[in-house]
Structure 1
């Protein structure tokens, strides 16, 4: 009979204290906060990618400018190479003239030797002078020969020597100038090719970073849209229900647990402690709480006791001026009453909120 009466009382309390429960709970404050945190995280990723892209674009600009400089340097070397080739052609023409002059001088010397000494036996000193490469012995030799010749003969030999010197100088200048300019042009060409390759590689890297930035921007936009949608749905639910839909759902569910035993550290479905009961009640409303009065106290704004709404959490402390001493929590169901799991040996039941250790109330979100 006593059990029947307890059940009948619980049913009466449930009917009296429960408004209709909304079928589809709106997003919780935690859901909105989590969505906004996703926006922040993705925005940070986007900012990092944008910074890398800016660095890559700056480097690309520097490399492009360097390529332009090297291309122009290469163009300059090619102009100088063409000039050197023209100069070499001109020098080759002068060299041909000089070689012809050397040949004429040699013929004059040979004729002079034949006329003067009469035959090849006496021509050897003169030929030696023609092919002499210098040195002290060479100078003494030339002096001896020249001393034997008349002024006219000495002039002929001197002209041969001078034409040979001029021809050698022209030949060396033509070869060296063109070779040096070819080397400079080749060096400029290699530098240009290397710079163009660096630009191509940097452009590819920049394109990859641009694609990544675009993808991250899309993710940020999607996350922001999702967060805004959740926030709008939550605000709309508050407007429709006066902000009490979540609390009503939590309070209504708590009333369905009346009579279940208190067990320390239990969180249902058959037994509960105080914070286990309130955690499960708000879970039904779509709000996730920890199984601890410490964090449940900070799970939302604190509300004055004259502004309580159904579902608000009521906290009790050893020292009502120090929330750190909170030891118990219940869930407000209206009319100055709460549902709570009191202590070992007791059951989930309805009780008055007005106790001397009441420290305050929190509205989870």
Structure 2
């Protein structure tokens, strides 16, 4: 909001505050002072009442304006918190993809190492063959072996042996070629996986930074909203007190006049009765009627319970942590864990961390983040919700991509949730605004 508007709003409230203080003081003076119970109250003039009403109307107009601004600010806070939750959800999903890519990179690197070892072995075989040929004095020993044979039989035998040796040497050459290709392919795969992993890691870090900024902004807006709420309530109370003070003073004065007239009439009646009594020899007394009080009966209500053992195990596990601090990004399969970003160093649960932990204790595995939980589990409509179902909220109820919160439905219009930073795990009423649907982990 602009500086000019803020200045106008601040300066515009000062006359109301000053007038409210003056009117309250006047009203207090108009009422009977302490210790003078019989004093006659002063009736405010019509001009005083009119001025106070005008000031109250002006304050009411400012209250209405501030209320509209507060509603807009609250909507902005809710939207910022929802976007923060979505950003955290994205970070968790991208972090999982990064870990998978890193594992693929490690596997590719191991494959490259094995190919390099095979290549080294093949090269050693080639070097051995070359060295032996050199030591024999010829790189082609086939002709020498055949020409030095003692006879046809030995020549045929040597020819068979040389043919086998040549085939082996050819296998060595092929092995070298294959090993080199495998090494190059494995290295390329490893580099590609590392590139993908680095990209995903950067995206995850960017998503986390965005989430931190959104959450910090939401908290700042919430703090400002609370301050303005206190100011609004104070100004409204002052305006109402001012008008009610004068109205009360007038009512007291009018009531006093009525009582005085009644007292005068009563005194006149008593005087007349005394005169009549002097003329009568006896008086009649009639007992005052009595009334009996009958107390109304009280109604009693009872609630039913019951569901599957897995649902009750999950709910019981979540209930054990009621009152645990909310931690942005916190929650593991075994309990509360350290949060991230704005809640770094805080041990607790976020919304999807709580639901995943609860059902893990019942032996049911569900994804880490809220959008993945909604996508992976069987969906149920509002009319089909049962105790133990997961319920989800989104900024756009037609788009699951905007899901930002999840809780456990307890039945009877109650949910168990990890709400937001600065709060604790709690049981509260179901909220239908922004509700996009439910899922059933036990289905």
User: What range is the shorter-chain TM-score in?
Assistant: 0.3 to 0.5
Instruction: Using structure 2 for the length normalisation, give the TM-score.
Output: 0.39
Structure number with larger C-alpha Rg: 1
Higher-RCO chain (CA-CA 8 Å, sequence separation at least 6): 1
